[in-house]
Amino acid sequence: MNLKKLVSLAAALVALMAVQSATAALIDFGKLFGPAPIQLDAAPTPEKSVSVDSFKQLKDHKQVIITEFNVQFLTSKKASASSGRETEGAAHVNSNIKLLGLTNETFQAITDQAYTNFVKGLTALGLEVKPYSDYMARPEYENMKSYLKTSPLEVSASIFSGGQPSFVFAPTGMPICLFGDESAVGSGSLMSAGMGRSAPHSIEPQIAKESGIAAVHVYLVVDFCQMEAKGGVFSYTATVDTKPQMSIAKISRCLFVFGGGMTGGLEYVKMKNNAFGKDEYVSALNDVTTTGQKVGDAAAGVIGILGGTGGTYKTRSYEAVADPALYQAAAIKYLTAVQDLMLDGIKAKTTK
């Protein structure tokens, strides 16, 4: 190949890389494909917010019992981004943030109120909600006890591989019951629910079939911060945008166990995307990056936004200090909004 052809090929490759980089910067493929994020303050509809199974079995079940109501509160997050090729001076940025200023009493109060609101929603559907004490009175309950966990539960690698640091709360007087389909924010890995014939996920379909009382499982995840990482091989910069903002994570779900059939008569309501709220709850956002981490690195002009170009490595650490009253009010508001979307979705299915 002569020099002229080599130059032409090199120019074509450079142009292609520029187009790819510009396209990646201009087009958000996540927004083009798949449901849009849910804006809870904009009166979202169930049709655009949740996916609902047929729930045909609900017509034969007028009594339900809530055997799982878990609310997971994220308290720490991290994200990273890189750009360029390692051989050409890649950029790496890392950002992490912790949520401070809240106590177990606040998380418990949020969980209890969300549970109360959910019971009211089930009742509005025409269902009789049996007390958890009825479940405890079942002869099978004694064998299930070893699978139940005390609330609150601190999430660790042994419980939730790859999960973000967090705490799971159940309503006062109820233990934490894991059905095995609870997935982690970020990694998608599943919580460990335990195996065995007496495990709740193994025995509940049989109990529901024999008693005619459907078991209801609710798993809700409260996220405190949005972290958007941008970069890639064809990008000249890497950035992580860290913004405290409350949301209910897409992995939240509601499950009815009716019993019977090959699958145990399971019917799901799942979120189509993350659900965001506008209410602010942070009283202070502090950059607590150590001096050592900042060596040779000029801090970003706007706190929460970290960027780097070729040949750089940057790290930022933040602490978001919550106002307990504002956080509690926002969490209850948005948890209830998501629960209402789920229940309205079931109602729409069963009244067609």
pLDDT one-digit tens code per residue, 263-279: 779 999 999 999 999 99
pLDDT at 98 over 90: yes
Taking the CA atoms of residue 47, residue 53, residue 58 and residue 64 in that order, the dihedral angle to the nearest 10 degrees is -90
Higher-pLDDT residue of 32, 172:
172
Mean pLDDT across the chain, nearest whole number?
A: 81
pLDDT at 304 over 70: no
Q: Out of 28-32, 70-74, 249-253, 296-300, which region has the weakest mean confidence (pLDDT)?
A: 296-300
Burial 233-264 (b: 16+ CB within 10 A, else e): ebbebbbbbbebbbbbbbbbbbbbbbbeeeeb
pLDDT at 316 over 70: yes
Quote the percentage of the chain above a pLDDT of 90: 53
**pLDDT given at position 300:** 40
**pLDDT given at position 217:** 95
- Taking only the tens place, the pLDDT of each residue in 6-65 is 444 444 444 444 444 444 444 444 455 678 999 999 999 999 999 999 999 999 899 999
C-beta of residue 100 within 8 angstroms of C-beta of residue 321? yes
Q: State which amino acid sits at residue 29.
A: F
C-beta of residue 45 within 8 angstroms of C-beta of residue 206? no
**pLDDT given at position 289:** 87
C-beta of residue 283 within 8 angstroms of C-beta of residue 100? no
- Taking only the tens place, the pLDDT of each residue in 141-166 is 998 888 898 999 887 654 544 456 78
